[in-house]
Structure 1
Amino acid sequence: MGRRLRHLRKERDLTLAQVAEQSGVAASQLSLLENGKREAKLSTLQRIARVYGATLDDLTAPVPSRRAQLEIELEHYMNSPLARAKGLPTVRISPRMSMDVLEALVGLHHELARDAAERVATPEEARRANAQLRDEMRARDNYYGELEAEAAKLLKRVGYVSGPLSQHLIGEMTEHLGFSLYHASDLPHSTRSVTDLKNMRIYLPATLGDHDPKSVLLQALGHHILGHTPPTNYGDFLRQRVETNYFAAALMMPEEPAVRFLREAKGRRELAAEDLRDNFAVSYEAACHRFTNFATQHLDIQVHFQRVHESGVIYKAYENDGVMFPKDNLGAIEGQPVCRYWTSRQVFDVADKFNAFDQYTDTPTGTFWCSARVDRAGASGAFSTSIGVPYRDSKWFRGRDTKEHSVSKCPDESCCRRAPAGLTQRWSAYAWPSARTHAHLLAALPPGTFPGVDDAEVYQFLDSRSGEKES
């Protein structure tokens, strides 16, 4: 607003002293308002507007002059998270600053922002950021009290009492936050949802495939409630994903009733992720994730979690119980092959896919009890989801009486990563397999503000939908 006030004064060829004399507002106060160092009262703005022969709308309307626009843009850039992260100095924007200098500074900031937005998120960068984030999650026992509090406030506003979060209450949340919901059959292929902050719309695909529609919508709302700004690096992007996933889970499985449910189950020695799943009508994977939020904080149980592809590759993992996950030289777990003797691999060979598969596994860091299930994720294939605890805590879980037992010597290569000597001798000189290349491991993610998302495609989609009525 300060820039607009200055523009209106300059447009009328008035000095601060002249405006002060006519409005009764001190020149020093007018200067503070124009420099953005003081917020104006409504009565003050009305007095200034009368001097300029303008309305309050004029004082808040977009500034038409090129110079005023550049001043506003430069101030925005200098106060941006990117500029602060880079430690860039700010400059005083004065009337004596030439247009050439303004144009140059805005141009430099614009190119810096564009370069950051189009950064190349390499697999190495992603793994490093993932490892750093997991260290933080382990330090917090995967419990984020501030996110629980935000979810609790929103649930209270819409009158949630207990049980699964209904579609009706989710609709009330969406409306309460000022959004309207649209379904689109042509949503950009690289997105699960698109939020139009200009028109306060959330676009979801007409069919969500493998994703829980409630979770996708709640994650979109989470970005808004948690005040997320465009990520400045890949670590920031991952952190936001973790926070919105956590926030959505905290809405679908609220802390107070979920912890009460789990404590009662622990008292009966009947803890089971599938019971949490059924009680709140969520997926098994979501229930296992949520269990890790509460296990240490509220149940005094260390725990680990895995999401493993049928190929044996770890897609997601968390641990604070001492289990030894395979890691690369950057400390990343995702993308590493898991031992074939662990529960998360053994479950793929079990005929009974209806009931949970429970197993004890002896490892170099101790014996762990784990429970796993398999589900299919469309064209991506089958995945196992498992949670596990040290042997001493298995007494709290249903399935502790399993007779299944295996031994893993990993990371010793003789366990399952190196073929027996006899096989190696017979075939090493004659085998030439044609490898199935995972292109995503070689290629950088497409450039864009949000890694993997085509900005141009998103902007074109929003532009084509700007006049659409709510679905």
Structure 2
Amino acid sequence: MPSSHLRVLPFRPSVRLEGADDGAAGGHGVGAGTDPVSVGRRVRHHRRVADLTLAELGARVGLSASALSLLENGRREARVSVLGDLARALDLDLGELLSGGPPTRRSALEVRWERAQRSEGFQTLGIPQVRVGAGLPDDALEALVGLYESVVGLQQQRAATPEFARIANAELRRRMREADNYFPEIEGRAAELVRAIGHEGGVVSKADVNRIAEHIGFELRLVPDVPASTRSVTDLEHHRVYLPERGSHDARAAALQALGHVVLEHEPPRDYAEFLAQRVEINYFAAAVLVPEASAAPFLQQARAVKDIALEDLRDEYAVSYETAAHRFCNLATRHLDLPVHFMRTSADGVIYKAYENDGVRFPMDGTGAIEGARVCRAWTARVVFERPNGEIYAQYTDTGRGTFWCTAVAEQTPQGRFSVSVGVPFDQVRWMRGRDTRERRTSRCPDPRCCTRPPAALAREWDGKVWPSARAHSHLLAVLPPGVFPGVDDTEVLRFVATQEAAGNAIRDGAAQPHA
């Protein structure tokens, strides 16, 4: 898949004002609404227009030249009384020092550069500060400001705020829908590897996955201490993939996802959108290896011929999770069965974590078109299934404003909580699906709030003004993902881990090379 790109939000520099200093600031300062840097530049401009030195103007208002220099550089916040004295000494109204933009283009650039150097973003770059003196040309100063603001814009893009994440998700889902969630290049790479190891059908075993790794020159190692911020770590120098000994639901999938970065020739992601696209691609690759198109497509076509398509059969045939079977069905259904479909992974409280559709179903979404984080209607199969025991397959018809859809779903307990996986098709395609004879049927009028989000009138009247819930804050909705090439990964932890593994391996090899007594 081609990399997707996000728009860069306009840079808004963060201003950290220096603390008040005795003698020049304090409780009688000009106030939080006035920027000391801008005020200082206006004082300097008018002092120079009046052809006064720092010492001369300072003498008129009772300030030393050094104190006045700090004020002009925005490093001290002057009291209103001092600014009043300065205004009178410069034959100005006080308002001319307190309000308005920088008096010249040069002053504006100096203000922006001073703000930039005081921001926390500048500190993280690890570069020395540049003092702005009269000898620094305007074009050089403008280049410094422009470069810094561009760098910070890229940092913001990589930081993946919730807004960026939602835009990236919406764009990626659009591309998946346009391709009917089928990507021939990834299918081809997966099929080539399956053929290369001589796999002839059925379950792709752990031994098969090891052979795939060996075929592309890599070694899989299970270790107990993979960094907590990672699912796996790949040592590209020594061609090793480190995987956790426990914790992975399917070690085969985790290994194939790690190898997918190599097989698909991924470069370090340039932004969060590309990071997200790569995650989707390696998940697709892993599923395409575990459920090969060459055998899975005929398997599904045969089921369609007898009108008995069932995800649980695909799951059992290839010994994969129900979710992997659902993903794989959505990859192949439109391409090989001419079936439009939709898919959701939903938490027990109805929040969508993953979704895909090309069958016209209307998912709940926000103003950006993103659906992740939105809440599913209580009448949908994805929510109703939680009323059933874990692992029980549930099917239902749902009448919506976009038509009637049939869905099948399973809810299972995971380390992160209880989640459902649901797959559906439009009513006119249900004749191919096992479970179409279900008598379960519900009506959803969402997004009309009278459907399920607004309490029944009688209940609302009874408890009006008598209840105050304390909401559980979903901090991930507000938080920015940690910055870096791979968001959320502790780089120091990962590099120390790899270095430790290599050192341990060297010690073992050195010991084996010693002659025995």
**TM-score class normalised by the smaller sequence:** 0.7 to 0.9
Q: Counterparts of 1:187 and 1:296 in 2: how far apart (Å)?
A: 38
1:252-309 Cα offsets, whole Å, 9 max, x none, are: 0000100000000000100000000000110000000000011111100110001110
1:127 aligns with 2:163: no
Q: Which of the numbers 417, 420, 425 marks the counterpart of 2:456?
A: 420
Query: In 2, are the aligned partners of 1:118 and 1:448 still within 8 Å (CA)?
Result: no
Q: Counterparts of 1:365 and 1:115 in 2: how far apart (Å)?
A: 40
Query: In 2, are the aligned partners of 1:118 and 1:449 still within 8 Å (CA)?
Result: no
1:218 aligns with 2:250: no
Q: Counterparts of 1:394 and 1:296 in 2: how far apart (Å)?
A: 14
Q: Counterparts of 2:406 and 2:157 in 1: how far apart (Å)?
A: 45
Percent of pairs with identical residues: 52
The code of the aligned residue for 2:402 comes to T
1:244 aligns with 2:282: yes
Give the deviation of 1:415 after TM superposition. Answer: 0.2
The code of the aligned residue for 1:389 comes to V
Q: Structure 1 length normalisation: TM-score?
A: 0.74
Q: Counterparts of 1:130 and 1:454 in 2: how far apart (Å)?
A: 23
Q: Counterparts of 1:456 and 1:425 in 2: how far apart (Å)?
A: 56
Alignment of 1:170-181 (within 5 A): 170-181=209-220
Q: Counterparts of 1:469 and 1:273 in 2: how far apart (Å)?
A: 44
Query: In 1, are the aligned partners of 2:231 and 2:254 still within 8 Å (CA)?
Result: yes
The code of the aligned residue for 1:367 comes to T
| Structure 2 partner of 1:371 | 408
1:287 aligns with 2:332: no
The code of the aligned residue for 2:466 comes to Y
Give the 3 Å change call, closer, same or farther, for CA 128–428 of structure 1 in structure 2.
farther
Q: Counterparts of 2:393 and 2:413 in 1: how far apart (Å)?
A: 15
1:186 aligns with 2:225: yes
Give the deviation of 1:117 after TM superposition. Answer: 9.8
The code of the aligned residue for 2:297 comes to V
1:430 aligns with 2:466: yes
Query: In 1, are the aligned partners of 2:158 and 2:270 still within 8 Å (CA)?
Result: no
Alignment of 1:7-86 (within 5 A): none
Give the deviation of 1:350 after TM superposition. Answer: 2.0
Q: Counterparts of 2:375 and 2:252 in 1: how far apart (Å)?
A: 32
The code of the aligned residue for 1:206 comes to E
| Structure 1 partner of 2:237 | 198
| Structure 2 partner of 1:156 | 195
| Structure 1 partner of 2:381 | 343
Q: Counterparts of 1:238 and 1:267 in 2: how far apart (Å)?
A: 37
Give the deviation of 1:355 after TM superposition. Answer: 3.6
1:146-184 Cα offsets, whole Å, 9 max, x none, are: 110111111111111100101111111111111112222
Q: Counterparts of 1:331 and 1:452 in 2: how far apart (Å)?
A: 25
Determine helix, strand or coil for the equivalent of 2:160.
coil
Give the deviation of 1:234 after TM superposition. Answer: 0.8
1:115-151 Cα offsets, whole Å, 9 max, x none, are: 6599321111111100000000000000001110111
Q: Counterparts of 1:393 and 1:160 in 2: how far apart (Å)?
A: 34
Query: In 2, are the aligned partners of 1:447 and 1:454 still within 8 Å (CA)?
Result: no
Give the deviation of 1:453 after TM superposition. Answer: 1.1
Give the deviation of 1:430 after TM superposition. Answer: 2.0
| Structure 2 partner of 1:446 | 482
Q: Counterparts of 1:242 and 1:312 in 2: how far apart (Å)?
A: 23
Q: Counterparts of 1:322 and 1:114 in 2: how far apart (Å)?
A: 37
Give the 3 Å change call, closer, same or farther, for CA 172–113 of structure 1 in structure 2.
farther
Alignment of 1:380-391 (within 5 A): 380-391=416-427
Query: In 1, are the aligned partners of 2:157 and 2:271 still within 8 Å (CA)?
Result: no
Give the 3 Å change call, closer, same or farther, for CA 112–466 of structure 1 in structure 2.
farther
1:208 aligns with 2:247: yes
Query: In 2, are the aligned partners of 1:269 and 1:395 still within 8 Å (CA)?
Result: yes
The code of the aligned residue for 1:349 comes to E
Q: Counterparts of 1:193 and 1:271 in 2: how far apart (Å)?
A: 35
Give the 3 Å change call, closer, same or farther, for CA 354–206 of structure 1 in structure 2.
closer
Q: Counterparts of 1:422 and 1:117 in 2: how far apart (Å)?
A: 48
Give the deviation of 1:354 after TM superposition. Answer: 4.4
Give the deviation of 1:426 after TM superposition. Answer: 3.0
The code of the aligned residue for 1:419 comes to P
Determine helix, strand or coil for the equivalent of 2:159.
coil
Determine helix, strand or coil for the equivalent of 2:502.
coil
| Structure 1 partner of 2:491 | 455
Q: Counterparts of 1:346 and 1:387 in 2: how far apart (Å)?
A: 14
* RMSD of Structure 2 on Structure 1 (CA): 2.3
The code of the aligned residue for 2:196 comes to R
Alignment of 1:251-290 (within 5 A): 251-290=289-328
Mark the structure with the bigger radius of gyration.
2
Query: In 1, are the aligned partners of 2:385 and 2:394 still within 8 Å (CA)?
Result: yes
The code of the aligned residue for 1:371 comes to T
| Structure 1 partner of 2:205 | 166
Query: In 1, are the aligned partners of 2:159 and 2:272 still within 8 Å (CA)?
Result: no
| Structure 1 partner of 2:338 | 300
Q: Which of the numbers 455, 464, 468 marks the counterpart of 2:500?
A: 464
The code of the aligned residue for 1:246 comes to Y
- 308-317 vs 183-192, which deviates more? 183-192
Determine helix, strand or coil for the equivalent of 2:368.
coil
Determine helix, strand or coil for the equivalent of 1:467.
helix
Give the deviation of 1:401 after TM superposition. Answer: 0.4
Q: Counterparts of 2:158 and 2:215 in 1: how far apart (Å)?
A: 36
Q: Runs in 1 of length 4+ with deviation above 4 angstroms?
A: 111-118
Query: In 1, are the aligned partners of 2:157 and 2:272 still within 8 Å (CA)?
Result: no
Give the 3 Å change call, closer, same or farther, for CA 332–118 of structure 1 in structure 2.
closer
Query: In 1, are the aligned partners of 2:406 and 2:436 still within 8 Å (CA)?
Result: yes
Give the 3 Å change call, closer, same or farther, for CA 419–117 of structure 1 in structure 2.
closer
Q: Structure 2 length normalisation: TM-score?
A: 0.67
Specify every segment of 5 or more residues in structure 1 that has no aligned partner in the other structure, as ranges: 1-103
Query: In 2, are the aligned partners of 1:116 and 1:232 still within 8 Å (CA)?
Result: no
1:302-340 Cα offsets, whole Å, 9 max, x none, are: 100011100111111100001110001111111110000
